[in-house]
């Protein structure tokens, strides 16, 4: 029996994080590292599962806020937090993004989080 798709998406994130993440005290360098990890993760997931995922899904039309990956078949949102800083803030922000997405897109399938 194969692993659930969620396990595969998380395993891809772990592998890429381990390969690309660089720890340091320079905020700019950490930001660039986090962005590189997220972009590589999104690209690999989309390559393995073509047409199943949407990357950088806007939470609403006029918003700059985006959800890292959305599984269009399972209606699951994935957010990647590469840094260990401010995880409590990021957790609530990610939940808020899904709530805003669901409220702003009533004609689309409602998404949850993983």
pLDDT 10s digits, 67-110? 999 999 988 999 987 666 667 677 888 888 999 999 998 877 88
User: Whole-structure pTM over 0.75, yes or no?
Assistant: yes
CB count in 10 Å sphere of residue 6: 13
DSSP 90: H
Distance between CA atoms of 107 and 103, rounded to whole angstroms? Answer: 10
Distance between CA atoms of 111 and 101, rounded to whole angstroms? Answer: 8
Distance between CA atoms of 65 and 93, rounded to whole angstroms? Answer: 10
DSSP 110: P
């Amino acid at each position: 029996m194969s692993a659930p798709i969620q396990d595969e998406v998380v395993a891809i994130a772990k592998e890429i994080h381990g390969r690309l993440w660089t720890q340091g005290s320079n905020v700019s360098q950490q930001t660039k590292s986090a962005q590189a990890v997220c972009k590589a993760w999104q690209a690999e997931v989309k390559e393995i599962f073509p047409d199943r995922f949407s990357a950088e899904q806007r939470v609403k039309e006029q918003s700059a806020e985006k959800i890292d990956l959305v599984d269009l078949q399972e209606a699951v949102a994935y957010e990647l937090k590469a840094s260990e800083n401010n995880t409590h803030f990021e957790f609530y922000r990610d939940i808020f993004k899904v709530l805003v997405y669901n409220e702003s897109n009533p004609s689309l399938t409602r998404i949850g989080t993983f």
